[in-house]
A and B are shown apart, each in its own frame.
Chain A
């Protein structure tokens, strides 16, 4: 029942992303589509009152705005203002929207911010990062500190979509074995398919069970997921769909 509902929500978020980005002619479609299941499971099933969320890969803002609108934190019609002059819904999130704690989009900083929030020991904190983002050295400073301070209330999710602006992550700057890297930094590592709702639910459950170490969920994803002609295509990192492409994308999403 929950899963069925969530599948509907996931479609709605994907459609919102396509609409927002086509409408404003700006934004990052590929990396927004790849996080949809992750962000939906988190916000509609996993996160409880008081839990906090940081979207470190701020360029996926459109996905977050869609979620916040479905949660009633922003009005549905405000989504039309995404990326437009004088809008609160900047293409990278700013913290004048309820549910957004800090400006993100400058990659590599979100995990540190999340760890600072976790250090206050008041909330459980979730932080969503991109895999390309892990090339930033600061992420590993944060990884070191989170395990040093034994922040079991910190859970990172990496959207491993394997593509970045300039090409395949492997070719631009190979991240190597992420599982081994995080585990040698003292984290509990959980791997799952980032588009399978049931797998994500299990992964988050397992993460929450951990009471000594920070946890990272390595979510294997497809950049541009849900729109056949965008899937695994590096150019859809920042390309904007034209009218025809938009219609085709929406049709595929709702199919």
Chain B
């Protein structure tokens, strides 16, 4: 168990002098102290002023730096979305780390939770959108993001989560097949990847063979892999800790719109979050492995229906 936000912070430290780090009074929340201590001249706190921070990152990128704008996804991204839009339009080399995404900021309630960021980012041309699934993948995403030219948004969560990718390589855009299967393909991102693996394990006991795909890069989307697994399994379930509207499920559905295969979405159903224990919230909003299992059963039924037709 390790937290993705720590992975983000460790990735920044590894990049060290190659980058500059910007934050808006959430340096502690993002575990940026080590970077700040080691590279004080490459760390800028902007106070609680996200819009200025985002546009200033554009300026740093123009001057040849690789800025990592680091903060809570809700404020960093949503408050400064139009500033980010100008960065995307100008195709500047700015990286944004959006922490505390999904319901992972469970203690602070709806104002601080971020269930809309995949929608807000994937709609922007030029912007790469990455949703890593654990500590290691978040760290690697940071390092890979620094290697590519152009704006990148990395979405990750706050709490310790099981590690899945300790020994895996990470390649932007390339969807990872974490488990083979033939009856259904579960396409997930972020924390839901672990839930998908859990669901697949449970389903195998009932003779349902589920494939699990970690679609860590939402944009540009790996159409090839999505189409391949869809044609193989002929039934798709998507799972995300995000609104169903506009998120990973929508992105997958856009790719599969011209195929006949049924898709069932697991995600937040057009609701805002609230305070509570994380487990309570995940259950309330239908984001557990059990919800994925239910969706799998539903999609397999739909697949059979289509066959009858």
Q: Which residues of A contact B (CB under 8 A)?
A: 52, 94-95, 101-104, 106, 108-110, 112-120, 122-123, 125, 137-138, 141-142, 144-145, 148-149
Contacts and interface: CB of A to CB of B under 8 A. Distances in A.
A109 B86 contact: yes
28 contacts: A52-B62, A103-B86, A103-B90, A106-B82, A106-B85, A108-B51, A109-B83, A112-B52, A112-B53, A112-B54, A112-B83, A113-B55, A113-B56, A115-B52, A116-B59, A117-B62, A119-B44, A119-B59, A122-B63, A122-B64, A137-B51, A138-B55, A138-B83, A141-B49, A142-B52, A145-B46, A145-B47, A145-B56
Interface in B34-71: 44, 46-47, 49, 51-65, 67
The 3 nearest A-B residue pairs measured at CB: A116-B59, A112-B55, A116-B56
A84 B51 CA distance: 31
A178 to B, nearest CB: 19
A37 B83 CA distance: 29
Contacts of B53: 112
Contacts of A115: 52, 56, 59
A102 B58 contact: yes
A148 B67 CA distance: 19
B92 interface: yes
Residue of B46, B52, B91 ringed by the most chain A CB atoms within 10 A: B52
B63 A116 contact: yes
A119 B49 contact: no
Contacts of A94: 89-90
B60 A117 contact: yes
A181 to B, nearest CB: 16
Nearest to A117: B59
B49 A109 contact: no
Nearest to B63: A120
Contacts of B62: 52, 101-102, 113, 116-117
Residue of A103, A113, A114, A144 ringed by the most chain B CB atoms within 10 A: A113
A112 B86 CA distance: 12
B65 A120 contact: yes
Contacts of B67: 116
A18 B185 CA distance: 61
A119 B51 contact: no
Contacts of A118: 59
Residue of B53, B55, B58, B82 ringed by the most chain A CB atoms within 10 A: B55
Interface string B74-107: 0000000011011001111000000000000000
Contacts of A101: 62
Given A119-B60, A144-B47, A145-B47, A109 B90 contact: no
Nearest to B89: A103
B59 A120 contact: yes
Contact of B52 (A103, A125, A138): A138
A125 B83 CA distance: 20
B51 to A, nearest CB: 4
B60 A120 contact: yes
A52 B57 CA distance: 16
Given A94-B90, A106-B82, A116-B63, A145 B49 contact: yes
Contacts of A110: 55
Nearest to B92: A102
B32 to A, nearest CB: 17
Given A106-B82, A115-B56, A117-B62, A141 B51 contact: yes
Nearest to A106: B86
A104 B55 CA distance: 11
Contacts of A122: 63-64
Nearest to B48: A141
Contact of A109 (B44, B55, B61, B63): B55
A154 B31 CA distance: 31
